[in-house]
Every structure is written in structure tokens, then in C-alpha cells.
Amino acid sequence: NSPFDCEQGVARRSRDQASGRGLDEAHFRALGGCPSGNGQEQPHGQTMNSLLWTLAAAASAEVVRLGYFGEAQPFQVACARGWFDTEDGGDDFQVVCLPQASGGFVVSKLDEGDLEVALLGSTPAAFAVARGVDIKHLYVAHEKGSSQGLLVRPEIQSPPDLDGRTFGTPFGSTAHYHMMYIQTLFPDVRFDIIDLNGLNPLDLYDAGTIDGAFVWGGWIDGLVQRNATMLFPAQVLSDWGKPTFNTISARADFAARRPDVLERVAGVIARLDADYLDDASTRWGAGAGGFVADVAAAYGASASPTQAELDTAAAGLSYFSFVSPDTMQGPDYLGGGIAAALKATARFHLETNTVAAVAPAGTVDEDAFYAATTSAQSLADGLASIPASVLDTAGTGVTSIPESADSTCSGTVDLTATTGTLTDGATTSYSNNLACEWRIASGGVVELTFTVFRVWTGDFVEVFDGSTLVAKLHGFDRAWPPLRTTGDMTVKFTTDGVTERAFNYLLTDGWSASYDAEALVCAADHSTCGNGKCDAASGLCTCDAGYGGADCSLATCLGTTTLTGPTGEFRSSPTAPDRDEPYPNSAECHFVADVGTSFGYVSFTVTYDVEPTFDFVSVNSGDVTWARLSGEDTATILVPTTDGKASLVFTSDSRGRRGGFSATYVAKSVTCASNADCGGHGTCDDGGTCVCDTGYGGLACTVPHCLDGAPKVTGESMVMVSQAPGEPVPAAADCTWEFQAAAGRSVRVVVETLDLEPYRSAAKEGDMVVIRSTGATDIELTSTSFQKSYDIASSGISVSLETDRNDVGETYTGLAATAYAVDACPVVGGECEEQGFTCEPTSGLQGPGCYDGGRAVGCACDLTGCPEGSFFDESTGGCEACRPGTFKSATGPTPCEPCPKNFYAPESGAAMCCRQGWVLVDGFCRQCGQNVGAYVLKGARCNAANGTTVATLEVKEHFFRFSPESTSVYRCPEDDDACRGSSPGLEGYGNGLCKTHAHGPLCMLCRSGYFRNSKTKEDLKAVSECVRCDRIGEQMKQLLTVLLMIVAWALVILGIRRLRSRFNRQWFEAVLIQFVYFAMTMSRFVSIHQVPLPGFSQLVMRALDVFTFDLSSLHSIAQCYRTYNYFHFLMLATLGAPALLLVFIVCAVVRAVARVVACGAPAAPQNALAEEGAAAEAVPLHRRVAAAVRQDLGGVLSKWMLLISLFHSAICCAIFQIFNCTVKYEPFDRKFLVSDYSIRCSGPGYEAHKAYAIVCAVIYVTFPLCLFLVLWRPRRLAAGGEEQRKDPRHVDDGALAFLTNNLKAEYWWFEVLAIFLRSLVTGFFRFKADVKISIVLCLIVTIIHRTFVLQLKPYASSGLQHVVEALMRFALSIVLLSVCLVGDLIEDSKDALWMVTLVFLLNVASLPLAYQAFVSESYRGVARRLQAHEPVEAEEVEELLRSAHAEAIREDVRKRSRQILREAFDGKLRDESWTYFTGTLLALEGVWAPEVHAEEVLQWHVESMLARAKKAGGDGAIDAGAVERSVDIVAGPLAATLTEECLSPTAAFERLRRAQPPGGAPITLLRVYAEVLKPFFELDDQHPQKLWHSRKENPVLHLAALARNKSDQISTSLANLHSPPKSPTSPSSFSLSRSSSGVSSARSLLREASDPDDVAPTREENLASGLAKFRRAATKIQIVRAFASAREPRRLERFVDLALIAHDLNQQAQARIAEAAAKVLDEPRGADVVALKSFDNGTDQPALRSAELVAFKDKVGGAALESELDASVCVGALHDLANAAFPAFKKALEKLFPPGTEGVELECAADVAIKKKTRMRAKVDEYRREAKPWPRAEKLGDCLRASVVVAGAEQVVAAYEALAKDDIFKVVRLKNKLAGRVKPFNLLVNLAFQPPAPPGLAPLIVEVQIVPKAIYDKQKASHRLYSIARASNYASFSGKKTAVDTAPEAADDGGDVEAPTAVRPGRHAEVARRPSLMSLPSFLSWTRTSTRPVVAPAPAPRLDAPT
């Protein structure tokens, strides 16, 4: 009685109206709850007050619509009393109960959203789930019991009495389910069933329309009152296996959004059901005020039911079987039983053709799918939250009963006003069976706008523009866009007979709209058209594809869409097909392509996803439907135009939705212009019409089955085929063919095949064919009733194939028939033979029938004379095959006979019987398990109990056949496990033989979402299986295998690279390469030839596949992510190599740029030797980048060539795979690619790729020939040269060196030949030959290859030779085994296993022999001794120099030699080691004599040479004399090479001087020598090296060091010349260690040193420079065209490298000597040493100063012989005198300097003390050139000499004083070079010595050198280094050619008498005075102290002076 705020309620309604909550204002006020005035409540009593409270709750609560049926249920009490409702402050709701007609309507309303929760029978529930309606079952309301049943007229007493009668039931209900079950129980009883949905069965029964009905509830009572009896209660049928029940179900989206609602609904119903089942409950009596009264009201009684109505309600409750809530949660119900029952019901629906499938398409697990639709959670939660006390609450009670509707519209209303309103006129709810129409007249645009729209499912508002549908609308609380027409608009409202009004709640429905007959046209700027464009002609919007409505705002199609262009696009929604945005139910959309009359056809390409057999996309032309598309697919349909138009019509039924469709269309003038227009399944004839392959439909032959429409055929015949081979019979089809014969002729229809689902007319299930003709009765053909031919007395017929929704999982071959035009019988209905014709019962040109010769005649024919294997069957009027178990072996009317005992005829049509183990094929018995001729039955078994037919052949495991008619059983690949053989219940052919998820030919393909995974079984057999793509672990295993193999390869390569021995590296690299060759070739050989290797051997080959990166296993994985096949792999394999090269090049460029730019940000000065602070120009970036790129490209090309050669076999195999097709498989006569069974070896795609593969094969197979030519060319050029430059292996193969490094020189071509032969083995012969012939040819190639290896022994290493022989033996074994296995020479699998395993093990066991050869290689011993500094024999080394290890041993010898020089420099070398070095190591001509590119030698010495030039010349200008004087200091042993004019330092100086601009930088000695060295590094752009030559550049040339300041480095290097090297960055240390760390690029140094900081060039100079660059670029282009320049790179001997190292070290040794001398002079007695002044009293050898000697010379020859006498007689005499005097000389010295004296050591060994004759003669010859007087030998003052080694300056003075004071010696000459600080930094004392014994010896001038020990030790090292450095080449060192010594030994500078110097020809006099080789300090000292030049210094050159 509380006041009620009306205004608040109205306001609340205005907010909630759109969501369906509460009441609108008008209806609310109509209840009388509020007056129109002050809004206060009116006193209507308690009942109205309760209603108002209900309405108030409704105004604020969400309305939940619950549907129920008109039968008594306990939960109806909750509906009446409002117990479902709740209001808890935000989640409040009110449940509105609405009665429903049947379960079919409930499903539609749940799917459409008109209901949230509903009572649903098990049949419609299963129907809904099977069709994809997303609902959840949360409660079992009841089991049917006797609440339903078939009630029939009294005279129907038993099931046979049903025959011929008609019965009704609501279709889609549980009653309908049981009615169809009755039909299946009694198939011979034929009765019709009509749909009672929307009809009253009582009226129909009274009218005699039906003889009974399967119904429930009040209809049962009504029929019983009419004396009907129940023949079949539902309980009986449930007991027979078809249980029915009702569930409480909810929409899935609502269940997820509002679980609280479902919890309360389930809990309240559970409490009511439990109370009803409680016998102690007193609430359920039939008295007034109890629960039964509420049930009676819901059951259809009044609000105050009578006692009779109460009794009826109580009886209605008793009909049902209710389930206790606790039991309901168990496994028999919501725990699994309900799901199983629903699935079984859906299966029955499938079998009775009411659904297309048991579950929606794509469902993988049907059981799990159905289980997911049921849940006991809501029930459990409801029981926990809803107490039993809820039943004690009063509730609202029954306050209203649905009244009849009150619509006011009817008939047709014409509206002429400009604006107005349209409405159904109902105040509460619109009426049933309405047909209202409004016609709005207008001459312009009419716009209709809906203001309210609540139209239930099954009722429609339709809007038309003339006859064109604008919209067909329904829905509850739907917001529709405005609708427009041009001209008159018609609006129709039609309703069905179903009442939809809420029980106990006024839920309003209906609609209203306003219109404007003079609406504005659309805006020209399209702003009013939303997702569309304004059509100016019509004034209406043309919406984008998928949009609808006048303003194109609705995101779904609506009404009719028309496009006028020759092309266009249609969609059901903007994103269609899209299941996330499904299309609406009960939709009807028309799409018109108006292309104009100039086009005769329209081609629609439709991609559709619509519910199969329920929703359709129809393709129409005019009134003719050409195709109806349903399901999910893409189809192209070509149709003729009608008045220039063709259309699509999209329709959906009331339930079940999918993603929709999209379509494009193209207008065409003709059907086809070429075969390409016929869909790949037909040919284009001359008339522009496609002639389709058998079974393909459509004008363009694009659909693999017949279509609704087909062109009418006129002429002689017409072929009719229902579907293409292998395709199913089309579902829900109505295919029609029309045939017209010429006038006066008749038609014969010959049925070749009629294999359809059996047809049951009573249930209207199954498929049939109907022949129709004018004026004749239709002829129905079913698979169980048809004749072979039909003669029809009409010239025109139509043949229709009518099919139902599915074939219940069966496969049928369909219809194949032909209509022929035949001559009409002369007498209508006349007999064939009576008319003089012949009857042919089974054969004839036009089928069985009557013939006049070869002409068919349509007379009646006797077809009883049947051939063998058949008999005449009167029921079909033709010959029928003998039944199984019988046979007939002769033609005639005789019957078929039974087979004899133990013989069988298991199939019909047998002409003979076969025994067990045989099968009847083509009229003969064939034995299973044998291959005989064309019958391949080795893989088949014939073990059927009653005989085996071809169709029932059992196929063994690992075998496959393609069709049930095939007699060819093929073996599946050995390495695949997908062929499981025949299994009971599965097809014995095709995919039925495949394991789960496998399919296709030989089961070699995996279904979508699966990939092929390889695994190893317990028996070590590798097999493959199909695995789900979402099993990431399996994918990762394969990917991880590849990754691990990459890591393993990297570790192996890294391990080899880290081997310290070059030999070990080379040997293992060579073995690895050979093993890769072998593994790559054999792996691909076995793969492409499908060799069935057993067990262990198969595992070995699989390992080789992995080792060689066979990625074929990843092909299948790739299909998980995209469409991938062999063609993609072919492109990857063939284009991978050039792509990889491009990647390598790009990486090299990027790496070079990054190294230069990133590492070299502070650009290095262009003149690295510029003085500090001078302006330096940066090296241009492009020059640095170009140099860096050039450096990397050689290595890149080498790596690429190596990879290509390694994988050449794999690439070739990938190409040859396209020729590797299977045999032709019967019966389809198709071949498939062995590597990819999804590809057929035919068709344009295959042929195009095959042509591409042939081109690639030519390229890759001839690739070895290209390699041969590249290797042969330099050898051809070198063949005419100078004996290959002393080295038979001198040819530098650059990037291809890996092919020749390990071969003997004469067999340089062998590896190229091997690559070619290996490519042949990997499948080349499959181009034309079959597998067996290909293997034999491969065997021949392998034998040839192995013969070459054995006979030629081409490998220089014996160990490698053994390895290759072992691998070739292994390869030959594999090929031989392949011949045996593929050729079936070894048939027994066990024999094959042990034999192959034995062969494999024997071959593997031979590999240790190769390793033993490696261990025993002679190189290893030699290398080990060299590394241990142990001596080796020259003969051993010479032998190795002729082997493959020549470079390794050369490097070892050179490395040891460099170490010895270092030890000599450090003074740590023993004398015997030096002797070993000079006598053994330096005697190896093969190490030192070969010439290499000068760059490889000089790159280690450029920095030190430039440093010496910098030091010698300083930063100032120099003259030519300074250049001449510097040669030996700077160049050392390279001086002889620089005598060439182009290399001469003098010439370089002149070039620089001539090119020097005015005011330019001074010409320094550094620039001169940079100019001299440039040609060695080919920096001159005018003379580039050969482009063919690609050598590996040393890391020293890395340009990363450009970022450093070269001046600092060279300054450091110069400083190091005067001190022992302290870091590896000093030049000599670098030249020894060959380390690139911290060392600048030789090229960059030369560029920097040669490019001074000149003044800025003028414009003219810039122009000249540009022209010069242009000319150089042109030259380079020419060079590129010629492939090589004419100029060869300069070459130097390897010995020069050693000599330059010795020169570098000697320069450092001399610096150390000078430093030691300075220290001596700094000692306390150093001043005394300086005080010893040099003098010479002119005394020469007394023995030669006699007149007799001169007279003797004059007497024997005079001047003519004086040189010979001097060199022989005089020198000989002095040498003999020295020998004789030596003992006395030594004794005298030992007396002065006794052994053991502290600080004094005497060095006076005979081999050193007595000067050698050769050196004496050389000295004499030098005196002769200096024109000294004869005898010149008298000047030799050191023919007998000794050294006194003293501790320091004090001992120097003491030693000299001892000599000067001794009586036996007399000092005649002193040279104090220690005080002068010049070489050799000692005191040279010449003494006159009279030997005391033997008597009579002449006096002798001897020499004693007093030298401090610190200097003496270093002089010894210097002398050793000098002995190497003074030789300019190996020949001069070894004495193999005459070499004049132009310089004395290091210790000979002094002691001899000097005469006045003379000028050498071509040299300045000052130059002549110096020794040819001297140290840098001596040179500097000499140049500084020389003040008396014979000629004046040359003046500074003038700019205009002549050159």
C-alpha cells in the first residue's frame, strides 16, 4: 500500500526501452496505475496493488524471457508466483514466462535472441546443437513418460493399420522425432506426416484432414474427448531405444553474462521438483489455492481455474517422469547421459535427413562438443543458494492470463497523405494470422522510419518498391535504419498462428512507423549515405558491399541491391564470410547485376559459408534458378542474362547461422574464349561454349556436380551425370536437364548408373530421379526401382535429380544416364519384333531396346535374353546381375545357378565361381598375393568367408589401392607408416586405408592442420606419421634437430680451425669436405630412388639426411603456416645459390662500410707522415669503403663457391625431383611427384615448373664445366711460360683453390669431374628412365668414378686417398644394395636386413684404416721435429714439397727459419743451429725459390721500409744523390729488384719532381719510396690486376686501422730501430709474427705517404683530374669486358721475405751495436779510448814488396797477367804464409792475453783467423777497380786476424797498450772506429809480425781487433743476419748463378789499405766511397761527416729545367 512514483517509473522506462526492460508510458498508464493528472496511486484493491508492485519491479529490472509449452510442469508455479524474480540492487531481473507452440519455434527464438531461457524437448535441443545454435542445457525438466503419444482414430488398432493414413505432429519436436522413429520401425507401412506448427490438431482431426496426431498436453485431452486412442505412448518408444525428455536451456551468451539468473532458475525449479517428488508434500493437491492452481493457469485455464481444470492439471503432471535434483547431477543425466542422448538424437536426425550433420562443420571431437553443451553447475549453485523455504513465500500469485490480441490492421490501406503513421494497431499484442498491407503513393522519394519494432520470429514486416523487395524485417526491440523507395512504397505485415503473450506479465509487442512521401533525395556530396554513394539518377544511396538501409548504416544486407557496372561486388555483410559476425535468421537479400543487353552472360565468383542445406545463395537469371549454393566453399557460376540482368538471392531459415558470403561478378559476351575459361574441367568449342568433363556442372564447368539449371539440349543425345568422379551426390539438390528431340521423334533414356540413397516416399527421405514429359505420368527412378532404359513417346523430356539433406555418411556414385533421340515406333505402343525390328536386351548404340539394324526405334522390346552373369528380372523389366552365390556362364533366358561347394561368387553378375584365396576379376578368377600381368595383387588378401570381390579385397598393411574397382594394389613407401591396410568398418581403398589424419595417394598427405613428423621406432625403422600442427613440441624437435646440426657443424669447423698444425687443419678440412660430398650424394641418391633400406641402414641414411641439412622434413611443417609444396622448394633450392651470393656480397659491403664508417670515424690523415700540426686532408670515404669491399669480396666468393660445390648434389637432386614421378596409378591413370604427392605430373602448373627445372638442370649440371674452364685457363696460359716459375703448383686458383689444393698437380681437374659425376647419381637419369634403369646407370657412373680414384690416385695425400677410396667403396656398396633391393633380387626382409647391416658395418670398419694413414703421414714427423727445433733431413722435406702438404711444410720451414733469425738476433742461437739453418733449411729450393705475388711478400715490410726512408731523408727536400745513397739502407735485399727503370728510386724521384706543382709539398724520401712500392701493390689505376684473379688478402690489409694516426705508428717504428723490439707493433716484429694486431694496411700507408698535403687544386686541375678519372673508368669497363687485363701482377721469391726480415733485424742489431758503443765510451776510461787517435804509417805486406816479384810479373806476362797473378800467386802466397804463421801468431797473442784473464777473451780460431782466398780475391778485385798499384794484394792487411774481446773501455786501452809494448808485434796502423762511433765500433790494429817459427817465414802484416764484449756479441748476430740480408734472391744466396760481391763482410770494413777512391760509372764519387750495404746509423753518420765530395752536390732543380 505504499505510494508509487509514477513519473519515476516512466522515466525509468524511457531509459530501458531499447533493451526490452519494463513498460512504455502508454501501456503503463493504460493499466490505471496512475491518473493522467497528479501521478498518485488509485485504490484498485490488493490485486491491482500487487500488479503495480510487479510493474514497478519490471520498470527497474532486466526482463528475462523464458519459454515453456502448454503442458503441466511444476516450475510453472514459480512463473505464477514470481519466485524466479529478484532485485538485489543492480543485478535485479524479472523472469517473464511465455507459452510456446513447439520446440522448433523455441530453437528459432533462442537463436534469434527473442528468448533467453526455455523449456526445450530433447529432439529440438539436439536439432539445435547439430545446427550450431549455441545453447547450454542446465536442467532436465522431465522425461516424457506418457505425456506424449500417437493418438489415432478408433479403427486403427495396430501399426499395419497406419498404412495409407495421414498424421500430424509439430515438426522439430520430440513428438516428430518419435513419429519418424515409427516410420523406421515399420518400413513397409507407408503413411504421411504433416506439420502441426501453427495449426490446431483438433480442427484438423474434426475435418478429417488427419487420422491422428503425435502431440502432448491439452491436445491429448482434446483428442481423447473425440474418442481417439493412444497407439504409441512416448514411454514405449523411449524404452525401445529413443528416449525423449525436456531440458531447461539457455542461450550460451546469456549463460556467460548472467550465471546468477540461471542459478536462481535452476535452484527454484529443483526445489519445486523435489517437493513434487516428495510423497509427504501437501502442496500439490487439486484444490484451490495450491500449487496445482498455478499450474492450471499456465496450462491454459483461467486465473481462477475450475475444479475440472484443476483435475486436468493434476493429471497432466502425472504423465511425466521427473528426476530428483541429486540424481540429475550424476553421470546418467547432466554428468554425461544427456549429452550422449542428444548426440544419439542428432544421429537419428542425420539418418532421417532432417539435419546435414551431427555437429557443425569443423568439429573434431563430437563427444566433447556435445558434452560441452551440458553442465550441472547452475543446478549445484542453485541448490546451494536457494533454500527449500522459497516454497513457503507467498509470491505475487496469478494476476493475469494472456488475453486475445488486439491488432486493428487488416486488408489493404492506400495512403495518399504526404506524411503519416503506420502501425499494427495493437494496444497489448498483435494478432495471429494477420495479412495487412499499406500502399503509400508518391511521385518522388518515400522514406519509412520505424519508431517501435517488436516482431517475433516467424512474423515479418516487408517493404517493397513496386515488386522489388526493399526489406524483410523481424526481431524484438530491433533498431532498423530508414527505408526509401522511388515512387510508390508498399508495406506488408504478416503473422503466423503462434500466440506469443506473456503469462502473468503484459509484455507488449508490435510495431509503428512514420513515413514521408516527399523525402529529400540523398546529398550529392554523399554525406547522407554513410557507407555508400549517392546515385544522382534515383536520388537513393547505393551502399557499399554488405551494407543496407536508406542511409547505408546497417552492417548487413537488406532487401535488394542493384549494381549497373560490368563488374562489381556483393556481400551479405561488410566482412562476410565472417563467423564472428554471422548473418541474421530468416534473411532474404537480393543482389542484381544489371550489366546491360550488350553482355550475354555474367560470371559470379561466390565465396560462401552458409548453413548446409538450410541456407542458400541462389544464382538466378530471370525466373530460372541456375544454382543453389550451400555449405562452405568457393564457386564460379556462369549464367546467361535476362534483359541484361542476373542476380543472387541469399536466404536463411529461422535457425542456425554462419559467416555469410561474398561475391564478385564479371560481365561476359560469350561463355568461353579458350579452354582456360572452362574451369580446368572442360573444353571450349568453336561456338564459344564449354563442353564439360563428366559430372561437372555450370556453363563454365566450375562445379563438380550438377546444378539446378542447365541449358536445354537439342539434337541427338544428352548426357546427364550427377557429380564428378570421386565427388559426393549433391545434397538438397534439384538438378534438372531438358532434352528436345526433333519433331516426330521420341526419346529413350538409358540409365548407365543409378546409385543413390534409398528413397522412402512416406518419410520423404532419400534421393530419386524423375522423368517428366508433356501429357505423360512422371516416372520415378530410385536406386531400388529402375529400368535400364525408358522409351518415352514424346519429343521433349526433362530429367530431375532430387536429393535430401545428406547421405547419412554413405558414398554413392549418383546418376549417369543418357537421353537419345530415337525414331518413333510406326505404331504407337507397337511391339519391336512385330514391326520387323530386333530387340537387343543389353547392348546397342543407344542402350537396351528396339533396333532397326543400327537405328534405334521406340517400340516395345522383350529384354529376357540376358547375357552371361545376368538374368531377366520382371520387377525391373530388364536383365539383372546374378545374385551373390550364383552364376550364369551362358547367354539366354536361363536362370542363375548356385556355386558348387567350396566355391564362391561373392558379388552379383558372376559368370563363374572362385575358390578361397581367389577373386573374380573381369570374368576370370585371379589369385591374391601375386602380381600377374596387369593384376597387381601382391598386397591383397582374399580371406572373406563367403568369397572375395574386387570391392572387398583386403589390403595388407603398407599397401594401398585407389578405388574399390581397382585390381592394382601398390606398395607404400618404406619410410612411411601411414598405410594401415584394411580395417573392419572402414573402406578398403583410398583414404580408408590411411591412418588417422593421413589421406591422399598412398596416404602420403596430411589433412589440414596436421604435418608429417618423422620418428624412429623400436626396431630402428624410421617412419612418418601425421601430427597436429598445434603440437609445437614435435615441430620444435625437427627444428631443434636442424639447429643442433648447425651447432655441430659450427663446432666441427671451429675445432678444425683451432688445430695448431696447418697440416691437421688442411687434412681434416679435406676429409670433412669429402665426407660431405659422400653423405650429400648418397643421401639424395637413396631418397630420390626410394631405396627400401631396412632397419639400421635406414637410420644411418636418415642421419646422413640430417647431417647434410636435408630440409624435406620441414616441408610438411611449412604447410601448417601456409600453402607449401615441392614447387616452392624447387624455387628455394635453385634460387637460393644466387640469392646467397647476393646476401654474401651485401654483407661484405655492409661489413666494409660499418668497419670503415663506425670504426674509422676520425678519418686518418691522408699524409700519415706529415709533421705534427700540419694540415692533413682526410682519406676520402669512398676510397676507404672501396678498398674494404675489395678486401672482403675474395673471401666471400671463396666461401660461396665452397658452399655451392658442397650442396651441388643436393641442388641437382631438388631439380631432378620434378622428373621423379610415380608409376601410373590405376584406375585413374595418374602420376604423382614422389617428393610431394599433392602434385600430379601433368597439367599446366607442373609443365611450367618442369620447363623451369630443365633450364635449372642445364645450368647446374654444366656448372662443373664452367669450373673446369676457369681452372684450365690459367694453366693453359702458364704452360708456355718459364717452367711454371720453378713451382709446379704455382697457379693460384683463388676462390676455387679448395678444388685443387688436395690433388696432385697433374690431376687438378679431378674434383670438378667428381662433382659432375655426383650430380648424375642424384637423379639425373630420372629425366627419361624409370627407377630401376636409373639405379643401374648410377651404378655404372659410380664404378667409373671409383675406377678413376683407384687407378689415378689423384689425391696428393695418401691418407686422404685412403679416405676417398673407403667412401667410394661405401658408395658403391649402397648403389649395389639399391640394385638388389629395388630390383627384388633380395625379397626376404630378414635377408635384406642382415646383408645390408653387414655391408654397412664392414664399410664403417674400414674408416680407421684411413685414419691410420693420416697418423702415418710423413709430414707429421717432419712437422713435429720442426716445431721441436730438431733437425730434419733435406730429402724428407724435398719429398713433402712434391706432395699435397707442400704449402704446409713450406710454412713450417719458413716459420722455423723466422724463429732462427729471431734467436740469432737475440744472441740465443747456438752455432750448430745456425749451421743447420744455413746448411739444411736454406738449402730447400722448393721453399724459397717459388715466386708469389709481390704484395704477399712486401705487405709485411712496407711499414719498416717507409720508416727507414723517413729517418734517412727527414721531412725536408732531397736530391737525386740522397736517393741513390739510400737504396741499400731502405730497400736492402730488394735493391736488386729496383734496378728496373719503372721501379728505380731515381726514376721515381724524377717522376715526382716533374709532377710537382709550384709551391707544392717538398719531395721527401718517404714519398719517393712510396712511389717505388706502389706498383708492387698495384695501386696504379692505370694497371689493375687481372679480374679473374681472386686471392685471399692477408689480414694486414684490413682497413680498420685507418682510424689510427700513421705518423705515430711510424715514429714508434723508427724509434724501435734503435732499440730491441718491445712490442709486436714494431715493423720487424710484425714481419716475424705475421700478426695483424695494431698494424696498418700496407696499401693505406703507401697511399698516405704518396699523397702530400698540396695546395688546393685549381679549376683547370679539377677538370683535368675529372677527365683522368673518366678515362680510368672507361679503361676499367674495357677490362671488365675482356675479363682480365693484359698485365700480370709482379712476383717475388719467398726468399726475399726472409732476406727482408734479416735486413730489418740487422738494422736493429746495428742500432744496438751503436748504443753499446756509446755506453762503452761513457765509461770512466772512455775518454782514454777517444784519445787513441787513428794513424797509418803506410806499411803494406812486406812479403809482396820486392823488386823480384815485379820482375817476375813483367817476365811472365806484364800488364796482361797482373790481375791473374795478383789473384792467384800473390793471394795464394799470402794465404800460405798466413797458414804457416798462424800457430806462432796465436801463441804470441795467448802470451799477451792468457786464457782465463778476467775481462779479456781471445777469439782466434783457425777457420776465422785465416782469411779465405775467395774473400781475399774479392778484395783484390775491388782494389783493381779502384786502380790501386800492383801488387794489389799487398794492401791485404787482415789475411791473418784475431779478436780481443774485452769487458769495457779500461780493457780496450789496456789491450792496445799491451800490443803496442810487445816486442814481437809492431803497430803500423790504427783505426779507432770505436771513438768515431762508426761501424764496426772497435779498434782495428794492424801489426807487423815476424813469425818466430817455423824459421824463414817472411814478416806478415796481421790484424787484431779490440772490441768490447757488449759489441762483439751483437756483431756476431749482425754478421749472421747480414749473410742472409745481402742476397737479393735465392740463387745469389745459394751460389747457383754468378753473383759479384760488391761489399765486404761486415767485419771487413777496415784493416785493408785504402787507396784514393774512383768514381764508378754512372754514380757520384761520393757514392763510390760507401759500402754497398751499411747500417742506417753508419749511413747517417757517413752522410753527415762526408765533407769532401769529389763532385759538388747537385743544385736544387728549377721548375723549367729539362729532365
Q: In this predicted model, what pLDDT tens digit does every residue of 615-650 receive, in sequence order?
A: 999 999 998 999 999 999 999 999 999 999 999 999
Determine the pLDDT at residue 1416. 55
Residue positions counted in the chain: 2003
In the chain, the amino acid numbered 23 is L
pLDDT at 881 over 60: yes
Residue reference for cell 783484390: 1820
pLDDT at 840 over 50: yes
* Across 710-715, average pLDDT: 89
Determine the pLDDT at residue 875. 58
CA atoms within 13 A on the CB side of 559: 29
Determine the pLDDT at residue 766. 87
By DSSP bridging, strand 192-195 and strand 166-169 are: parallel
Query: Which are the contacts of 1282, defined by CB distance < 8 A and separation ≥ 6?
Result: none
Reported as a pLDDT band with limits 50, 70 and 90, residue 1641 is low
Q: What is the pLDDT of residues 581-604, one digit of tens each?
A: 999 999 999 999 999 999 999 999
What φ, ψ does residue 166 adopt, rounded to 5°?
-125, 135
Determine the pLDDT at residue 1410. 62
* Across 443-447, average pLDDT: 93
Return the top range by mean pLDDT from 217-226, 328-337, 1181-1190, 1449-1458: 328-337
First to last CA, the chain: 134
Higher pLDDT, 618 or 1999: 618
Higher pLDDT, 934 or 1652: 934
Q: What is the pLDDT of residues 1826-1841, one digit of tens each?
A: 888 888 888 888 888 8
Residue reference for cell 520498470: 59
The Cα–Cα gap between 1653 and 1165 comes to: 10
By DSSP bridging, strand 940-941 and strand 855-857 are: unpaired
* Across 1329-1351, average pLDDT: 90
Higher pLDDT, 1319 or 1167: 1319
Reported as a pLDDT band with limits 50, 70 and 90, residue 276 is very high
CB 904 within 8 A of CB 947: yes
pLDDT at 1414 over 90: no
Q: What is the pLDDT of residues 1055-1102, one digit of tens each?
A: 777 766 666 677 778 888 888 888 888 888 888 888 887 776 777 777
The DSSP bridge partners found for residue 849 are 840
Query: Which are the contacts of 1414, defined by CB distance < 8 A and separation ≥ 6?
Result: 1067, 1071, 1359, 1363
pLDDT at 1966 over 80: no
Q: What is the pLDDT of residues 54-112, one digit of tens each?
A: 444 445 678 899 999 888 899 999 988 889 887 554 568 888 888 888 888 899 899 98
pLDDT at 681 over 80: yes
The two counts, helices (H) then strands (E), for the chain are: 59, 73
Percent of the chain with pLDDT over 90: 24
The Cα–Cα gap between 1880 and 1948 comes to: 9
Percent of the chain with pLDDT over 70: 81
Least confident range from 377-386, 1007-1016, 1245-1254: namely 1007-1016
* Across 1728-1737, average pLDDT: 86
Distances (CA, A) of 951 to 356, 936, 990, 1178: 28, 15, 12, 88
Return the top range by mean pLDDT from 178-187, 516-525, 1870-1879: 516-525
The Cα–Cα gap between 1443 and 1063 comes to: 12
Higher pLDDT, 569 or 1393: 569
Query: Which are the contacts of 808, defined by CB distance < 8 A and separation ≥ 6?
Result: 350, 351, 353, 757
Grid cell at residue 1661 = 686541375
Determine the pLDDT at residue 822. 94
- Nearest CA to 970 out of 769, 1149, 1196, 1228 is that of 1228
pLDDT at 728 over 60: yes
Q: What is the pLDDT of residues 1598-1636, one digit of tens each?
A: 322 332 233 333 333 334 433 333 333 344 444 555 544
CB 338 within 8 A of CB 247: yes
Query: Strand, coil or helix: what is 774?
Result: coil
Determine the pLDDT at residue 1273. 81
* Across 1888-1910, average pLDDT: 87
* Across 1775-1798, average pLDDT: 86
* Across 1106-1113, average pLDDT: 70
Virtual torsion, Cα 304, 306, 307, 309, nearest 10 deg: -100
* Across 875-901, average pLDDT: 82
* Across 703-716, average pLDDT: 89
The Cα–Cα gap between 789 and 354 comes to: 33
Determine the pLDDT at residue 1602. 31
pLDDT at 1987 over 80: no
Q: What is the mean pLDDT of the chain?
A: 79
Grid cell at residue 428 = 497489448
Cis peptide leading into residue 1831 (ω within 30°): yes
Determine the pLDDT at residue 1409. 65
Q: What is the pLDDT of residues 182-234, one digit of tens each?
A: 888 888 888 889 988 878 899 999 999 999 999 988 888 889 999 999 999 98
Determine the pLDDT at residue 1727. 86
The Cα–Cα gap between 592 and 560 comes to: 7
The DSSP bridge partners found for residue 123 are none
Least confident range from 468-477, 679-688, 1041-1050, 1235-1244: namely 1041-1050
